Amino acid sequence: MIDFELTPEEEAAVKVAHKAAEELFRPISRYYDEHEHESPQELIDTLWEKRGEVGMLSLSLAAALGIEELCWGDAGLMLCNPGPSLGGAAVWASGTPEQRDRFLKRFNKGKPKWGAMAMTEAGCGSDTSAITATAVRDGDEWVLNGEKIFVTQGKRALEDSDGIVVVWATVDKSAGRAGMKSFVVEAGTPGMRVEKLEKKLGIRASDTATIIFEDCRIPYENILGSPEVRKLDKTKTAGFQKAMATFDATRPIVAAQALGVGRAALDFVKETLEKEGIEIRYGLPRNKLSALERDVMDMEAHYKAAKLLTLRAIWMLNQGQPNNLEASMAKAKTGLAVTRITQKAVELMGPLGYSRKYLLEKWMRDAKINDIFEGTGQINMLIVARRVLGYSRDQLK
């Protein structure tokens, strides 16, 4: 039976995350939206000191709910939270127990540190199997070459002496997806550098980097999982499955981020209406409701449906159950839901929503990325369709 019940300790941790969002994130949200690429160092240090309370880096229901709370405060600042992040999720999903121990334990001590995942390239966005970055074995080392774009927290991971970047590259171009492998590159490795930082529509507090790998040498044992190039069947390969396993872990987390942004906008609308003495009359037939009431209820329905899908995907992951379908369903739904909720919130609030006096317009800008990164909404819907209909990648494109 699916159980979303939290322990008293987990409930307390989620409350601490909400308090951090309210007291630490919200007051500086607008400043770091307007000062892109300026690092919120005081916040980073505070979050690192309290990481046991608000960091919640494990892939659990409490972590997902904590992330929702932090993104209710500010999604960009949440991504400044020190920790292994997407790079850690890739190690967790694709690495051996020894590799998890070696690369993730460093995030439990010392100064703030970050992980990042470098997969996207200029010539292949959604089609991750088309990556062109290469990894060539040279004795006891791998030599990486290529360019990766839109690397979340890439700059911070490289500047941190203990940071890691998980890079996806091909060890054999002729093997197609079978040649796709992931490698851990530690900060300070010669041949890895930040080329530029993106200027973005939303989540501006989070650095988004282009990273160049030029004859970048890493130890042979830094390849995650098995180095063997092998096909599993006609439609799946070992390397490609590792990439998808990573997404199965990270997509529900991104969905939780979207929930936080959507709920922030929904809360703002409901609180504003309450201040104006406007009541939402629940329990009446739709034809008895005003257009405003129907809109608010539709926003709530989208939010709640997205949240249940997200919690189910996270729960299955923690139970060791395959959640490929459920992770994609959660990601597709929340990306769509948060976009609709924030846009409708701006529309309903009129000048209040469009004004920079309030954070509502910012939440609308922050929302859209959740429908794009970790697999676009279209790609995730395609994955859902394939799983439900039993079609292969070649049969349904």
Helices (H) and strands (E) in the chain, counts: 14, 7
SS3 at position 152: strand
| R_g (Cα) of the chain, nearest Å | 21
Which among 264, 144, 114, 284 has a CA at the least distance from the CA of 212?
144
Report whether 263 contacts 300 (CB < 8 A).
Answer: no
Is there a contact between 169 and 183 (Cβ–Cβ < 8 Å)? yes
> Both tokens of residue 339?
């976009």
Residue burial 148-168, b: 16+ Cβ < 10 Å; e: rest: bbbbbbbbbbbebebbbbbbb
Task: Write out the two tokens for 267.
Answer: 């809360």
Q: SS3 for 137? A: strand
Q: Left if phi > 0, otherwise alpha if psi is -120 to 50, otherwise beta: which for 322? A: beta
DSSP assignment letter at 129: G
Question: Which residue has 């395959």 as its token pair?
Answer: 322
Estimate to the nearest angstrom the gap between the alpha carbon of 30 and the chain centroid: 21
Q: Is 361 one of the catalytic residues?
A: no
How many C-beta atoms surround the C-beta of residue 110 within 10 A? 11
Instruction: Outline where DSSP puts E strands in the chain.
Output: 115-118, 134-138, 141-152, 164-170, 180-186, 192-197, 208-219
3-class SS at 322?
coil
Q: Which positions are annotated as active-site residues?
A: 374
